[in-house]
Amino acid sequence: MIRFHEKDPYAPIQYSYEVSRILYRGRSKFQDIVVFENPFFGRMMILDGVVQITEKDEFFYHEMLAHVVLKAHPAPKTVVVIGGGDGGTVREVLRHKTVERVYFIEIDEEVINVSRKFFPRVASGIGDRRVEIKCMDGAEFVKSRKHDIDLVIVDSTDIVGFAKSLFTKKFFSSISDCLTPDGMFVSLSESLHFHQEIVVSVQKTLQAVFPVVDLYTAPLATYAGNWWTFSVGSMGLNPREIRGKGRLKTKYYSPDIHKSCFLPGEMYTRLLNGKLGW
């Protein structure tokens, strides 16, 4: 059997997958890109040796990254998606009828091209007339805007490689400067099983910038550690409340999940104080 062994030096468990067929191998200006087929997960996209999406389970991540802040906002119109070149997050954002404009900022154009070719259902929203694609550094883009963005969603690779610059106080300050008073920011922030210290560091950096900071989780089978966190920075609104109207036909996200996905207060306090005990 041919297997792909994930190359994540920061994960204490290495994941490996059967490879039925290799569909694409290439190197962009920024990273190695591989697409292969697995009997259980379908097509999978690998960036620099780490699984980014699979056909079978990408919706867990994309639904949970997009819908929590989109539903916590009363009527989001202008959304920035930084990274997420596969298009899955943009697809979910577009399902909200109030959304008029999505700035889709992906530094690596090649990821968009590969996704359009091999993951057409994931990339399905990229050509929507509301989407403006900009192949540039997300940090540069947010610096160019002032108080006219409702939501900033960062859909980056792990907080270890070149994506590190997306988790600094400087970057978070630029984001808060571009947000409206009801604005919110969200990003994946690693696993509560494996990378507590990164989770806490992202939360504390956000607290230095945003009036409201919170943390929710989702079970992501193909990201090592699986119990992953999403960090929210808000200019004022409590992200635990649902304000958006209308019902989404989703597979995992739901109003019930919205209410139960945030870390319970007592556990959240222990996490920030370094007292989770694991």
Closer Cβ to a second copy, 176 or 191, answer by number: 191
Work out which of 144, 168, 238, 260 binds a second copy, going by CB under 8 A: 260
Q: What angle do CA 182, 165, 146 make, to 5 degrees?
A: 35
Work out which of 139, 200, 212, 221 binds a second copy, going by CB under 8 A: 221
Q: Does 192 bind a second copy (CB under 8 A)?
A: yes
Residue pointed to by tokens 């400067």:
177
Q: Which of residues 119-138 bind a second copy (CB under 8 A)?
A: none
Q: Does 247 bind a second copy (CB under 8 A)?
A: no
- Within a 13 Å sphere around the CA of 263, how many CA atoms are in the beta-carbon half? 25
Could you tell me which stretch among 61-69, 105-113, 230-238, 270-278 binds a second copy (CB under 8 A)?
A: 270-278
Q: Name the token pair of 205.
A: 């950096």
Smallest gap, in angstroms, from Cβ of residue 80 to a second copy? 28
Question: What phi, psi does 272 have (nearest 5°)?
Answer: -65, -30
Q: Which of residues 12-71 bind a second copy (CB under 8 A)?
A: 12-18, 38-41, 56-57, 59-60
Catalytic residue list contains 108: no
* Mode of pairing for the β-strands spanning 3-5 and 149-155: unpaired
Smallest gap, in angstroms, from Cβ of residue 272 to a second copy? 16
Could you tell me which stretch among 29-37, 141-149, 167-175, 255-263 binds a second copy (CB under 8 A)?
A: 255-263
Catalytic-labelled residue, pool 57, 155, 158, 214:
155
Q: Which of 58, 56, 94 is nearest to 77 (CA)?
A: 94
- The sign one gets for the Cα dihedral 195, 196, 197, 203 is positive
Please state whether 274 falls in left (phi above 0), alpha (psi between -120 and 50) or beta.
left
| Sequence-ordered list of residues with C-beta below 8 angstroms from that of 164, at least 6 positions apart, any chain | none
Residue 36 bridge partners (DSSP)? 22, 44
Please give the residue ranges that form the binding site for a second copy (CB under 8 A). Answer: 3, 5, 12-18, 38-41, 56-57, 59-60, 191-194, 217, 219, 221-222, 225-227, 251-252, 254, 256-257, 259-260, 264-267, 276-278
As annotated, the active-site residues are 155
